Amino acid sequence: MTPCSGRRVSTLLPEPARRTAAWCVVLLLVAGVAAVAIWLFVTFKTAVTPVLLATLGTALLGPVYRWLLKMKVQRSLAAGLTCAVVVAVVGGAMYIVARALIDTGDQIITSLKQAADDLSKYFGAAGTSLDDMASNAKDLLGKFGGSAASGVISGLSVVGEMIAMAVLALLLVFFFLRDSDRALGAMRSLAPRGTADVVEAMGRRAFEAVEGFMRGTTFIALIDAICITVGLLILRVPGAWGLGALVFIGAYIPYLGAFISGAVAILVALADRGVLIALWALGVVLAVQVLEGHVLQPVIQSRTVQMHPAVVMLAITAGASVAGILGMLLAVPVTAAAFGVYSELRARYAAGSVSSTGSAGSAGSVGSAASEGASEGPSEGPGTPS
Residues 379-382: contacts with CB under 8 Å, at least 24 apart: 381/180, 381/184, 381/203, 381/204, 381/207, 382/59, 382/62, 382/204, 382/207, 382/208, 382/210, 382/211
The answer, yes or no, to whether residue 224 has pLDDT greater than 80, is: yes
- What pLDDT is recorded for position 275? 79
The answer, yes or no, to whether residue 4 has pLDDT greater than 70, is: no
User: pLDDT (tens digit, 9 = 90+) per residue, 61-76?
Assistant: 888 888 888 888 888 8
CB atoms within 10 A of CB 216: 18
Give CA–CA dist 133/115, Å, rounded: 12
User: pLDDT (tens digit, 9 = 90+) per residue, 105-139?
Assistant: 666 667 666 666 666 665 554 555 555 555 555 55
| 65 Cβ contact list (under 8 Å, min separation 6) | 78, 79, 82, 177, 383, 385
pTM above threshold 0.75: no
User: Which secondary-structure segment (H or E) carries 78?
Assistant: helix 75-123
